[in-house]
Structure 1
Amino acid sequence: MSPLRSDASSPSLSPSRPDLTRSGVAWYGVLVLFVVQIFSFVDRQAMSLLIAPIKADLGLSDTQVSLVIGLGFALAYAVAGLPVGRLVDRLSRPAILTAGLALWCCCTFLCGFVRSFPQLALARSGVGIGEATGTPVVVSLLGDWFPPQKRGIAFAIFAVSAYVGTGLALVAGSAILHALGAQPTIALPVIGAVRTWQVVFLLIGPVGLLAVPLVLSLHEPRRLRDGSRPSASAAETPGLRAVLTYYRRHWSAFASQHAASTLLAMLFYGTSAWMPEFLRRTYGLPIAQAGLWFGCVTVVAGSLGVLTGGLVSGRMLKGGYVDARLCVTGLAALCALPFAAAFPNAAASGSALAGAGAMIFFTASISTTGSTGVQELAPARMRGLAAAVYLFVFNGIGLSLGPSLFAILTDHVFGDEGQLWRALAVGAPALAFAAAAAAFVGLAPYRACVTRSEEPCPARASEDPASVTA
């Protein structure tokens, strides 16, 4: 880590760029995006409470369930994110997010009608495609709404929504399961008899549509060139050749940043997906109680961790440390490591929840440092696509392989679903260590890339690729 100062750490607003934070437009936008992200994570994470009944009704193994929770959803999310990222750099961002919101709400609702593994996988893939619109839109809008010195706190506040959404999914799902009791099926008007776990999807799916009018009310700012100069049209978006050249010249910076964030994502998503089942299988907690307590832990620990990571990295950035985002990611991974090793071996459920909460506090930093790191590495007109590439790696590997890693260890290494705790005890600290190593190895190339990312970027692929920021 070196105290090299970049313009990104102490910029001033251009006279041609209005300060949207003063008018409240930008902060209203953060509030709307916060609400939308909560709905996104509620729809995404509720399934972790329903593993046991889904396995029983559809005849699935832990590995197959992990493919639905992780791989099927994440691959659709990651692949769809690439064209979405390109569209975000060219079309109306509120309109793109509205379409995605409608799609994922409808597909969550359809999960309540599935009768087989392929049907469930297809519905979950639809949820992933819809949610793929979220982060590219958010990264692009926050980049245009806020000057660099305010982006850290804006991203941190927004990122809290992921943990609030995850926690609410578990709390709300637990409340629904508790209210339904031990009834295997429920007779609903018009729909007829459905399994209890299907009711959860039928109830939470349509609620997100309430946010559609709010999304359509978001301010679409004029697109910015590098240096905060409004651009004339979306036609100035860098061509694919220019983008590829930029990535090739800074591959080590992008690789280390993406790897560190993705490994921490594997740790968070993998442990979160299996934590309610871990508490049930290891300590005998009823699944509704396990979901309730872990949901509360996730909301508190995740929210505090996101805000702390954003504030710490923001202060370091203001102090001139241009590698602050990646450095904080590495430090957070190191701090998470002992708790990742301890919680699966805890003697009681309370100790396990406390250890998991401490681990989540540290891993939550990537929700701020990951997205803002991409902002710093990429020139302004590449941000939408850069966010999509980041998410392709982050979700294509982190979200898809995280849940599957622990399921494969349980099914094929230890060979007993009661040994889930051993899978967590082996995999969780290994992921934390690998994330820390990736972050610290990449600090030097990250600094070099950040200090050059604000140079002008060519608008079209037909321009000389040698003129791309090197």
Structure 2
Amino acid sequence: MTIEKAEDASVYPPSSVGWRAVTIFTILYILSYADRKILSLMIIPIQNDLKISDFQFGLLQGFAFSLLYALAGIPIGRLIDRYPRRLIMYIGVTFWSLATALSGFAQNFAALFVARMSIGVGEATLSPASYSMISDLFPKGKLSTALSVYGLGVSIGSSFAFLMGGSIITLVAAADAINLGWFGSFHAWQIAFVIVGLPGLLLSLLVFTIPEPRRMGLSQKDKAGPERGAVLKFMVERRSFLICHFGGFSAIGLMAFSVSSWAPAFYGRQFGWTPFQIGIALATYTGVFGTLGALVGGRLVDMFVRRGVENAHLHVVAWSIACATPFGIAAFLSHSPMYSVAFLCIMNFFLMFFTGPGVGALQLITPNEFRGQVSAIYLFVVSLVGLSVGPVAVGAITDFIFYDRAKVGWSVATLIGIGGVLAFTLLNLGRAPMLRALKAAR
């Protein structure tokens, strides 16, 4: 399969258009992560009010969200490859924002589980559509940086969720419930969901301020549209690279989601911190160090790519994970809260190197008309391993192996160690297959 070349920077829209699009996509990604991650800061009040175990909470953080996030992503990816991406993005943002606000009306585990599943469906639209559009707005020498900036939504959104959740809970913690007239009585955690969810109904309209870019890098023989089974055939042909890529970045997801989902519980149980204290610490770990790591990782990879190291995406990230893993383990085994937070911040700086290069490598080897679907399949795999397995595994190890909620730090450290070894190994194994895939793409 040959691909129409789109490497000449002159065929891309002006950089101002590209960066305006990236800015809007990043704002929406920040919103999505705030809606997604605010749950993790409210473990203790939700467990107290709804009477649920660590294992059940792990299901809410992981499986409930990731199940439909992953399953819906594949058909949505096909729509993204065929229809206007802005419209699909608008529908998704509106849907997940409503679902987040409605989470505040949940009165039991089942209702919150359904709300989390609905958030997953809506959020499944954003990243595949953004990856596809950004790849049509930037040449390959600038692509990892652009995708890393978009990926800042993870760090900034999580930071916002931690700060917002901690502040709201602290402000209204004195009251057992707040009466909102005919809406009824609400706990602090329920109000937090409503406040974080509603802004998306307006912000979703921003996508219509971006022009739909021309699709770059279409395969020559498929300009009339991909044949049935063409995506599967393409993935089978690139299986050596895709197995290592999907596996390596899924292992990083296992590390990242285990940490972000259970760090609030760890600091609350291990050191007796309040939600506000936890929010400040974790906002620093995500918003400052995660942001720096994402930017540095993207810039490093683009620098090496411009110098001819075409598989720098995997090489740089593999060694960043080697640096991140020991600091992550130390963070959750430390008996000092200050050392723990310091180690956590260093870990996240190196961990977030993966943000742009992971998806950047995938876009470079994939024809345009497959990018939505291949991106959705990638997110499906990462979600199954990272979002589904990570948070649930931590809860299961804590409940069924240690039989002690105070041992949650050991559970997280275990997942960090396993994920780090797997990621380093698979990403290094994928370097040679990536060069072959890039050659085939040309």
TM-score interval for Structure 1 and Structure 2 normalised by the shorter chain: over 0.9
Q: With structure 2 as the length reference, what TM-score do the two structures score?
A: 0.96
Amino acid at match of 2:49: D
1:13 aligns with 2:2: no
- Alpha-carbon shift at residue 237 of structure 1 (Å): 3.0
Paired AA for residue 7 in structure 2 = P
Q: Name the TM-score, length of structure 1 as normaliser.
A: 0.90
Q: Deviations over 1:48-97 (max 9, x none)?
A: 01111111222211111011111110111011110111111111111101
Q: State how far apart, in whole Å, the 1-side matches of 2:311 and 2:26 are.
A: 27
- Deviation per CA, 1:128-158: give whole Å up to 9, x if none: 0000000111011001111111212111111
Does structure 1 retain, via aligned residues, the 8 Å contact 2:258–2:415?
no
2:393 corresponding residue in structure 1: 405
Distance 1:307 1:54 in 2: 35
1:249 matched to 2:227? The reply is no
For residues 275-424 of structure 1, the aligned pairs below 5 Å read 275-424=263-412
Distance 2:138 2:415 in 1: 38
Residue 61 of structure 1: aligned partner:
53
Q: Does 1:27 align with 2:19?
A: yes
Give, in angstroms, the shift of residue 384 of structure 1.
Answer: 1.2
Q: Would the aligned equivalents of 1:20 and 1:146 in 2 still touch at CA under 8 Å?
A: no
Pick aligned residue for 1:162 from 154, 178, 183:
154
| Residues in 2 aligned to 1:18 and 1:55: alpha-carbon distance in whole angstroms | 51
Q: Return the offset for 1:18.
A: 4.5
Query: Could you give the per-residue CA deviations for residues 266-313 of structure 1, whole angstroms, max 9, x where no partner exists?
Result: 101111111111001111111221122111221011100101110111
Secondary structure of the residue aligned to 2:185 is strand
- The one-letter code sitting in structure 2 at the alignment partner of 1:130 is G
Whichever residue aligns with residue 210 of structure 1, its letter is L
Q: How does 1:193-212 map to 2 (within 5 A)?
A: 193-212=185-204
Residue 165 of structure 2 aligns with an amino acid whose one-letter code is G
- RMSD over equivalenced CA pairs, Å: 1.8
* Among candidates 153, 160, 183, match of residue 175 of structure 2: 183
Q: 2:127 maps to which residue?
A: 135
**Structure 1 unaligned blocks of 5 or more:** 1-6, 455-470
Residue 325 of structure 2 aligns to which amino acid in structure 1? L
Residue number in structure 2 paired with 1:439: 427
Distance apart, 1:160 and its partner CA:
1.1
Distance 2:240 2:403 in 1: 39
Structure-1 residue corresponding to 2:98? 106
Take 1:158 and 1:125, find their aligned partners in 2: how far apart are those partners?
A: 24
SS at match of 1:89: helix
CA distance in 1, matches of 2:228, 2:77: 12
Percent identity, aligned pairs only, is: 31
> Which amino acid in structure 1 is aligned with residue 299 of structure 2?
L
Q: Which has the higher helix share?
A: 2
Structure 1 residues 222 and 425, CA gap change in structure 2 (3 angstroms)? closer
Counterpart amino acid of residue 286 in structure 1: T
Task: Name the residue aligned to 1:41.
Answer: 33
Shift of 1:235: 6.8
State the shift of 1:116 in Å: 1.5
Once the two structures are overlaid, the 10-residue window that deviates more, 131-140 or 445-454, is 445-454
For structure 2, list consecutive stretches of 5 or more residues without a partner in the other structure: none
Once residues 37 and 184 of structure 1 are traced to their aligned partners in structure 2, the CA distance between those partners, rounded to angstroms, is: 33
